Amino acid sequence: MSDPNGLIQPGRPAPGFTLPATPDGDPIGPEQFRGRPVVLAFYPADWSPVCGDQMSLYQSAAPVFAQYKAVVLGLSVDSIWSHRAFAESRGIEFPLLADFEPKGEVARRYGAYNAQGEADRALVVLDPAGKVTWSHRSPPDVNPGADGIFDALDQLAADRKVMAG
Amino acid sequence: MTTPLQVTARLRDPVTTADHIRGPADASVTIVEYGDFQCQFCGAAYPNLHEVLRQRADTVRLVYRYFPIANVHPYAERAAETAEAAAVRGRFWEMHDWLYEHQDQLDPVHLSLGVEQVGLPPDELNAEVESRAHADRVRRDFVGGIRSGVNGTPTLFVNGVRHEGGYDLADLLAAVDAAGNA
């Protein structure tokens, strides 16, 4: 079951974790990107049409993410081998993390695990200090696009400017 | 578990004279299409959009913006930049139509033939595309689309509201007529 409190909300510290990730299977987690915004894109399954479109969109938007120095990490309960084939078929170069064993543990900790045994289609943006700054859950058949992510990244950049000023 | 309300996506970048526009300037309905020349769904929508413009010639105009998904469509960016090179020479729609009518011929060799068929100098356009002279313009459309919630192609906005229906002629006419009567 999903976290009864639902998807993790802004203001909460992001639970730490590492998971095996494409391309080489080395473990990756948000902590190693402290100092940069991190986008966690939970999705139900490699190869499903909506997920394919969503992850492709984030890949094609890579230059925009780069402007924010933001890191994008895709997460589903698929194995690293499925992730690798999926990434190759779609030209996806950002890491896809395998929340495979124990299955869905990271998704559960973020309140993004469902009764079907998959991750929800959920987006979580972490600020450079590792705190949740924005989160959003879509119905499984709805590609959430990237506008909410970029609004959150804009807000982070604006906040930092105020702090610096 | 509750499902969050779906927010209707709206076009954030207003239509300007810098856009590629087909149809009457005073049209009561504006369709903005974010498209990828190599996307088969865009290719399927193309003749239907054409027919909408023909059947509603007095009320509808079409704006085309580039949204190449380069990682799955290796020729999409080049096609978009070629269309922009044609646009600089006042031939955007001719090139646009050629690209959608020849979606299986977007490799560089065939694309050059297409440029020639549209009546433009292939070597000159090739050089511009190779030097990425039009990459910024294509990127600008793409980023604007992302900001408006474009999540795949084609995505249409009818009078600024994202079209959630299908791309059959009947669906498109219904959407256009609803917007025109709103």
pLDDT average, residue stretch A133-156:
94
Q: For chain A, what percent of residues have pLDDT higher than 90?
A: 86
B71–A53 CB contact, under 8 Å: no
Q: Taking 80 as the threshold, does the pLDDT of residue B4 lie above it?
A: no
| Chain A residue whose CA is closest to B76 | A60
Tell me what pLDDT residue B5 has: 44
Here the ipTM equals 0.85
Q: How would residue B173 be classed by pLDDT, with cut points 50, 70 and 90?
A: very high
- Cα–Cα distance measured from residue A26 to residue A23, given in angstroms and rounded to the nearest whole number: 8
Chain B residues touching A145 at Cβ < 8 A: 9, 146, 149-151
Q: What does pTM read for this prediction?
A: 0.91
Q: Taking 90 as the threshold, does the pLDDT of residue A51 lie above it?
A: no
Q: Taking 90 as the threshold, does the pLDDT of residue B109 lie above it?
A: yes
A57–B1 CB contact, under 8 Å: no
Which residues of A lie closer than 8 Å to B, measured between beta carbons? 2, 6, 53-54, 56-57, 59-61, 63-64, 90-93, 114, 136-139, 142-147, 150
Q: How would residue A161 be classed by pLDDT, with cut points 50, 70 and 90?
A: confident
pLDDT average, residue stretch A54-73:
95
pLDDT average, residue stretch B164-173:
96
DSSP line for B77-140? HHHHHHHHHHHHTT-HHHHHHHHHHTGGG-SHHHHHHHHHHTTS-HHHHHHHHHTTTTHHHHHH
pLDDT average, residue stretch B149-177:
95
Between A110 and B2, the more confident residue is A110
pLDDT average, residue stretch B4-30:
87
Tell me what pLDDT residue A49 has: 75
Q: Taking 70 as the threshold, does the pLDDT of residue A29 lie above it?
A: yes
**Helix orientation angle between B135-147 and B76-88, rounded to the nearest 10 degrees:** 110
A142: its two tokens: 């709805």
